[in-house]
Amino acid sequence: MTLARRKLPIGIQTFAKIRGDDYYYVDKTPLAWRLAQESGYFFLSRPRRFGKSLFLDTLRALFAGEEALFGGLYIHDLWDWSVRYPVIYISFGGGVLKQVQELERVLHQQLDEHERHYALPARYPDNRSRFRDLIIRLHDQYSRGVVVLIDEYDKLILDNITESAMAQAMREGLKDFYSVIKDVDACLRFVFITGVSKFSKVSLFSGLNNLNDISIEATYSAICGYTDRDVDTVFVPELQGLDRGEIRDWYNGYNWLGESVYNPFDLLLLFQKRTFHPWWFETGTPTFLINLLGQRGFFTPDLAALRSGLELLGTFDVDQITPEALLFQTGYLTIHKAEELMRGYWVYTLGYPNREVESRLNASLLSVYTDDPSKSFAHRLRLYELLLVNDFAGLKALFQAFYASIPYHWYANNPIAGYEGYYASVFYSHFAALGLDIRLEDATQRGRIDMAVKFNRRIYLFEFKVVELLPEGRALQQLKDKAYADKYRAEGMPIHLIGVEFSREGRSVVGFEVEQA
């Protein structure tokens, strides 16, 4: 039986709109029910366009008692619809604010809307006092706890993150506003706060010691986004004509210690356009992120398997931004593995969530290397053409031309320039930017292969060396001496061993030896 196709809820963040029309909907109410059993203060960090606002609006409708919207959903027969809670919903998702006065205006506007809705005129001129007074009066009027929902709590800071003084001013203004939550604890039933980043409690939620951060909690890993099961049940009518494995490879993989998920925006655009494309990445990757990685000389192959502690992942503030925290919280890296090395001491292995992010992030980094995005694109296109015909002499010439095109000031200012890692980083980024199947530091019984690439029914094994450190010819010889090809022979594809040697002095490829294993 062929299931009927429904409307795709692209960009829709209103629960009532999705439920009131013929849209696909993935039921997240089992997790809403679990959360609602506690009278707690919850915090959730997820990357942009992950469905945070829709989940928050679902909570709003639930606590407000809008029963008609929940017919047929998991929570319907569990919820007491005779009880309605007063709900205060604050969102900072609309527009970009560049002045503290604009923050005050937005708060005034949203509080004014709530005061009109509940027929409780403002009694104080400042927003902090109005917020506090509104909560207390709603508690007294309804004789039950108030529900406070705050969406995109950090957006005003992130919008100004490259302007430190303004970002700090926004942070202080928001900190003053959020401090109300602690003051009126006795009047609250449930608090849920969402955002992209996890700023330290000291900087934004000072004193709110009972804030329960569920961002990295296996139970809530799939609170936003679509799981494989969702794709294979809810979206069955959309799968015809699309390669299911390719969908998983390109778009799945975001993980917060539990079940991995797809970014909804990616998947819905794929179903609409029927084309594999970096839909999510192109909706607004921050320029300052790419520049920060370039300035700090980040070794890009490390991004495929970066190890970090929880204290680094949670360290994010206006004047203290670690690349690990920034990449993880914005969705460019995700958790692949968690290890407890000793009691209470965890180490997390991070990596790209999927092929979309790996390819587009590396393509963006290549533009930082050259000062000329069009030339960078031309190099990648040429690389693809040469791989199709296995033109290894052409590959050597291509990379010699590329390294020669990198401006001298980039070498002079980059912390890892001149080291083997730098050359390997640039080399790897070209292949990754094409969206190829890449394995880095792939372990064998006799060592680790620097880079393995599968493309066009062939396998390419790369070893990188700097000639000033070792005799020429050692790169290819190591591939042969350690029999790295043995691991791949069972796949039945031609295997090419490629030793790539770089010169610090010449800042280029000086050796490019190839043998078929």
383 in Cβ contact with 394 (< 8 Å): no
DSSP, residue by residue, 459-504: EEEEEEEETTTS-TTHHHHHHHHTTGGGGGGGG-S-EEEEEEEEET
Q: Select from 103, 109, 112 the least CA-distant residue to 154.
A: 103
Domains, the chain, ordered by start: 16-215 (3.40.50), 228-273 (no CATH), 283-351 (no CATH), 362-516 (3.40.1350)
Give how far the C-alpha of residue 255 lies from the chain's centroid of Cα atoms, to the nearest Å. Answer: 10
Q: What is the pLDDT of residue 261?
A: 97
Return the SS3 of 205. Answer: coil
pLDDT at 264 over 80: yes
pLDDT at 271 over 80: yes
> Which of 83-97, 177-191, 273-287, 405-419 shows the lowest mean pLDDT across its residues?
405-419
74 in Cβ contact with 357 (< 8 Å): no
Q: What is the pLDDT of residue 469?
A: 61
d(CA 406, CA 410): 7
Q: What is the pLDDT of residue 470?
A: 60
Q: pLDDT (tens digit, 9 = 90+) per residue, 201-257?
A: 556 676 666 788 899 999 999 999 999 999 999 999 999 999 999 999 999 999 999
Looking at per-residue confidence, does 440 or 224 come out higher? 224
pLDDT band at 516 (very low <50, low <70, confident <90, very high): very high
Query: pLDDT exceeding 90 applies to what percent of the chain?
Result: 54
Q: pLDDT (tens digit, 9 = 90+) per residue, 148-200?
A: 999 998 888 888 887 888 888 888 888 889 889 988 999 999 999 999 887 76
Q: What is the pLDDT of residue 55?
A: 98
Q: Which residues contact 118 (CB under 8 A, 6 or more apart)?
A: 86, 134, 138, 141
Six-digit token string for 334? 């995700």
d(CA 507, CA 510): 9
Looking at per-residue confidence, does 406 or 180 come out higher? 180
Q: What is the pLDDT of residue 196?
A: 87
pLDDT at 69 over 50: yes
d(CA 11, CA 388): 38
pTM of the model: 0.88
Average pLDDT, the chain: 87
pLDDT band at 43 (very low <50, low <70, confident <90, very high): very high
Six-digit token string for 117? 């809705």
d(CA 368, CA 409): 12
pLDDT at 409 over 60: no
Q: What is the pLDDT of residue 221?
A: 96
How do 188-195 and 211-213 pair as beta strands? unpaired
Q: pLDDT (tens digit, 9 = 90+) per residue, 468-496?
A: 766 666 889 999 999 999 999 999 999 99
pLDDT at 507 over 50: yes
Q: pLDDT (tens digit, 9 = 90+) per residue, 293-349?
A: 766 666 677 777 788 887 667 666 777 777 788 888 889 999 999 888 888 788 999
Q: What is the pLDDT of residue 416?
A: 46
Query: pLDDT exceeding 70 applies to what percent of the chain?
Result: 89
Q: Select from 310, 316, 284 the least CA-distant residue to 161.
A: 316
pLDDT at 262 over 70: yes
